[in-house]
Amino acid sequence: MTKNLLVVESDNDKYFIEALIGYLNLTDVEVGSPICNIDDFECLDGISHLKSRLIRLKSQLDKAEIDKLGIILDANKVGIHTRVKLINDSLRNICSDISLDSTNTLVTSAELDIQIACHIINVDGAGELETLMKVIKSKQSTYADCLDGWRKCLKENGKAIGDKHFDKFWVSIYHRYDNCKMNEGNADKNCRGETGIKKDVWNFEHPALNDLKHFLRLFGN
């Protein structure tokens, strides 16, 4: 049975994309196992494993088990163009007749008999999923927003926390304290991970999601 498969970086990416796919009511699209399968705070170089992930997929592609392949990465600091180049470099390990010139556009590989496209998650050309999640949050975020004061305190004391770590921490606090009860009895299950991300606390109609939704509709029926 053929399918349309999406490759993502982390578990949180998988949960969020699955929630958005459900919201869009798309069918015949699957989010595969993440490139990096450890905790997101440790998985800071997951994209370096894209090459090996694609090589492992090659047998499925050869058997025509996949019709369309989508690759979703974060822009981080390096930006969209650099990420697209990394994807093209990785794709050369499984086929030689394809090059993605832009995001959100399906390109056909005659060699693999498959269509491939990529999307780079970003806000104004940089950032990652958590950066986007901060923008589209739909509930009050007092606890998470107060982290700005904590970050300012760190800076005043000669310490620093990078945007990547900070945004992940912001989302974690938004889940745990802004959208869970303070005395939540099963906080580890209900206030983080898949359950936390798939809660109704994101505005899926936010225009910041327009490009990502366009990309996902390339794969759904």
**Residue-by-residue DSSP string for the chain:** --EEEEE-SSHHHHHHHHHHHHHHT--SEEE---S--S-TTT-SSGGGGHHHHHHHHHHHHHTT-EEEEEEEEE-BTT-HHHHHHHHHHHHTTT-SS----SSS--EEETTTTEEEEEEEE-BTTBB-HHHHHHHHB-S--HHHHTHHHHHHHHHHTT----HHHHHHHHHHHIIIIISS-TT-TTHHHHSSHHHHHTSS-B-TT-GGGHHHHHHHHTT--
pLDDT, tens digit, 9 for 90 and up, residues 71-114 = 999 999 999 999 999 999 999 999 999 999 999 999 999 999 99
pLDDT band at 188; cut points 50, 70, 90 = low
**CB 76 within 8 Å of CB 164:** yes
**CB 210 within 8 Å of CB 61:** no
Residue 39 has pLDDT above 70, yes or no: no
Mean pLDDT of 52-66: 84
d(CA 177, CA 96): 49
**CB 129 within 8 Å of CB 202:** no
pLDDT band at 155; cut points 50, 70, 90 = very high
pLDDT for 43 = 53
- Residue 86's alpha-carbon distances to 20, 50, 101, 149, in angstroms, are 25, 9, 12, 36
Strands of 3-7's sheet, edge to edge? 29-31, 3-7, 66-74, 114-121, 107-109
What are φ and ψ of residue 158, in 5° steps? Answer: 75, 15
Please tell me the pTM assigned to this model.
0.91
pLDDT for 184 = 61
